[in-house]
Amino acid sequence: MTDYVMPTQPPREGWDLHCHTVFSDGTRTPRQLLEEARDRGLHGVAIADHDTTAGWEQAMHAAEELHFPLMRGTEITAQCGCVSVHMLAYLYDPNNRQISELFEKTRRARVARTKRWWSCCRKTTRSLGRVCLSR
């Protein structure tokens, strides 16, 4: 074990190397993210969406237009035995076939897991005799 404590707030100075956008589970477009980082006084950001490089192109255009430093990366989901781990990777070749296949495999597994979860929810709500799905 380490004494490292995971930060719960974005940094107030330097670089933020772990940012998500709407291309995974973030709430901001790449441009909005870069604008906010610039306005907060950061020196630069790395976008690291989950298992995708889909936001890289938008982020690169925004970085050029805003003259704001950007590092491209991804938060990669991997298995270590029976433990799921997330690794941050930066500046790799987005056209690498093995990486692209890994991302595709992870996305398919995520969709399958969501479908199983949804099916389980439907069975549970039926057995409870009511529907509690949001509107």
Does 49 bind Zn ion (CB under 5 A)? Our answer is: no
Q: Which stretch binds Zn ion (CB under 5 A): 6-14, 56-64, 75-83, 125-133?
A: 75-83
Q: For Zn ion, give the closer residue by CB, 87 or 121.
A: 87
Q: Kindly state the number of chain residues that form the binding site for Zn ion, as judged by CB under 5 A.
A: 1
Q: For Zn ion, give the closer residue by CB, 85 or 112.
A: 85
Taking the CA atoms of 104, 75, 97 and 57 in sequence, report the sign of the dihedral they define. Answer: positive
C-alpha dist (Å) from residue 47 to 6, 33, 85 = 18, 9, 18
Query: How distant is the alpha carbon of residue 67 from its chain centre?
Result: 23
Closest CB 20 distance from Zn ion, rounded Å? 6
17: CB partners within 8 A, 6+ apart? 45, 46, 48, 71, 73, 88, 90
Does 75 bind Zn ion (CB under 5 A)? Our answer is: yes
Does 51 bind Zn ion (CB under 5 A)? Our answer is: no
